[in-house]
C-alpha cells in the first residue's frame, strides 16, 4: 500500500465516518440500485453477460466523460491496488451472481446474495479506527429480515435449473455457494475501498471498462448475441449504464471511502424494498402486504442504526 493510501486508512476513522455528505452520496447509490430490477425488466430477454458488457461499457464511458468535462482526466489512472480491487468487486460480483442464478432457484439465490449488506456492517468493524456498535448489527439483522419477508413466498417455488443443467441435485448447492460468494465479494470490496480512500473515484473507469471486456468475452463464449428488441430496450440499457451500473458505483465509492460505512450497510436493504415497490408501480409485480411489513422493518432498522 502506498504511503498516502496508508495514511488515508489510518485517518479514515472517526472524522471520515461522520461525513454526512459522503453518506448521503452513498445513499444516492442505494436509490439508484432500486431501479435495477425495473430497468432489467424493461430491457427485455437479453443474455446476462451481454447485458453486463454493454452496461459497463456505457458506465465506464460515463465516468471518463464526466472526468474530462470536469477537467479531472488525470485522476482516471488507477493505482495497482485500486485496479485489482475494482476488477475483483465489479467483475467478480457479477460473474458469481449470474452463475448463482443459473444454478440455484432465483429467490433463494437473491436472498443469500443480499447478505452482502449485513457482511458490510460486520466487516466495517475491522477497519482501522472503527468500532462496530450493537445498533448497527441489530439494524442489519432487521434489514435482512425485511428482505426475507419480501422473498419468503417465493422460496422453494422455483426449483428448476438453468438450460442444459438437467436435474443435477448438486447444482442448487453450488448455486448457493456462489450466491454466498457474491455477498462476500461485494461486501469485502466495499469495505476494502476505505483503505484506498486517497484514490479518486474516477479511477473506477478502468475496472468498469475491463469488466465490460471480460463480460463480452464470456458472452461470445457461452451466449448467443441478441439485439435489443425495441427503443425501450435500448433506453433501458442506457439507463442501466448511466444509473445503477454507472453513476451508482461512483456514489458508492465515495460513501465507502468517506461516509458512514455501517450505516450505509444497513440502509442498503432499502434498495430491495424500493425496487419491489417500483416493480409494483410499473405493473411487473402484484402488490402484497409483505411489502408493507418489510417497509416497517426497514424503517425500524434505519432508526436503530442511525440513532
pTM listed for this prediction: 0.82
pLDDT of 170 above 60: no
Distance (Å, whole) CA 141 – CA 137: 6
Query: What's the confidence (pLDDT) of residue 155?
Result: 61
Residue 241, classed as helix, strand or coil, is helix
Q: How many other C-beta atoms are found inside a 10 Å radius of the C-beta of residue 132?
A: 16
pLDDT score of 5 more than 90: no
Q: Which of 13-17, 151-155, 178-182, 266-270 is predicted with the least confidence, judged by mean pLDDT?
A: 13-17
Angle at 83 between CA 77 and CA 89, to 5 degrees: 135
204-227: pLDDT as tens digits = 999 999 999 999 999 999 999 888
Average pLDDT (7-24) is 57
Average pLDDT over residues 122-146: 85
Task: Count CB neighbours of 4 within 10 A.
Answer: 13
C-alpha cell at 4: 498516502
Render pLDDT for 235-273 as a digit per residue (tens, 0 to 9): 999 999 999 988 999 999 999 999 999 889 888 888 888
pLDDT (average), residues 42-59: 91
Cα separation, 76 vs 204, whole angstroms: 7
C-alpha span between 84 and 294 (Å, rounded): 36
Phi and psi of 156, rounded to 5°?
80, -5
Q: How confident is the model at residue 164 (pLDDT cuts 50, 70, 90)?
A: very low
pLDDT-based confidence at residue 108 (cuts at 50, 70, 90): confident
Taking the CA atoms of the chain, what radius of gyration do you get in angstroms? Answer: 19
Confidence at 57, pLDDT banded by 50, 70, 90: very high
**pLDDT over 60 at 8, yes or no:** no
Q: How many CA atoms lie within 13 A of 1 on its CB side?
A: 17
3-state helix, strand, coil split of the chain in percent (to 5) is 80, 0, 20
What is the reported pLDDT for 153?
Answer: 63
Query: Predicted confidence band at 43 (pLDDT cuts at 50, 70, 90)?
Result: confident
Determine the Cα–Cα distance for residues 23 and 304; give it in Å rounded to an integer. 16
Amino acid at each position: 500500500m502506498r504511503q498516502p493510501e496508508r495514511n488515508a486508512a489510518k485517518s479514515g476513522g472517526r472524522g471520515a465516518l461522520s461525513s454526512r455528505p459522503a453518506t448521503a452520496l452513498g445513499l444516492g447509490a442505494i436509490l439508484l440500485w432500486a431501479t435495477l430490477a425495473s430497468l432489467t425488466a424493461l430491457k427485455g430477454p437479453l443474455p446476462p453477460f451481454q447485458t453486463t458488457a454493454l452496461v459497463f461499457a456505457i458506465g465506464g464511458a460515463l465516468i471518463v466523460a464526466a472526468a474530462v468535462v470536469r477537467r479531472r482526466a488525470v485522476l482516471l489512472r488507477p493505482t495497482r491496488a485500486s485496479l485489482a480491487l475494482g476488477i475483483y468487486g465489479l467483475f467478480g460480483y457479477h460473474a458469481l451472481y449470474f452463475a448463482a442464478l443459473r444454478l440455484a432457484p432465483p429467490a433463494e439465490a437473491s436472498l443469500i446474495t443480499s447478505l452482502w449488506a449485513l457482511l458490510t456492517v460486520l466487516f466495517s468493524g475491522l477497519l482501522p479506527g472503527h468500532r462496530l456498535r450493537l445498533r448497527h448489527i441489530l439494524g442489519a439483522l432487521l434489514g435482512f429480515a425485511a428482505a426475507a419477508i419480501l422473498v419468503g413466498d417465493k422460496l422453494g417455488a422455483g426449483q428448476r435449473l438453468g438450460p442444459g443443467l438437467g436435474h443435477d441435485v448438486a447444482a442448487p448447492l453450488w448455486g448457493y455457494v456462489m450466491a454466498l460468494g457474491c455477498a462476500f465479494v461485494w461486501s469485502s470490496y466495499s469495505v476494502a475501498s476505505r483503505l484506498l480512500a486517497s484514490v479518486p473515484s474516477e479511477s473506477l473507469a478502468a475496472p468498469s471498462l475491463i469488466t465490460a471486456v471480460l463480460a463480452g468475452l464470456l458472452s461470445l463464449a457461452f451466449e448467443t448475441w441478441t439485439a435489443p428488441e425495441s427503443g425501450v430496450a435500448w433506453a433501458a440499457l442506457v439507463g442501466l449504464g448511466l444509473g445503477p451500473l454507472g453513476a451508482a458505483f461512483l456514489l458508492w465509492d465515495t460513501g465507502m471511502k468517506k461516509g458512514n460505512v455501517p450505516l450505509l450497510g444497513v440502509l442498503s436493504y432499502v434498495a430491495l424494498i424500493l425496487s419491489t415497490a417500483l416493480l409494483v408501480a410499473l405493473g411487473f409485480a402484484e402488490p402484497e402486504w409483505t411489502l408493507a411489513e418489510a417497509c416497517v422493518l426497514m424503517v425500524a432498522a434505519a432508526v436503530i442504526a442511525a440513532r
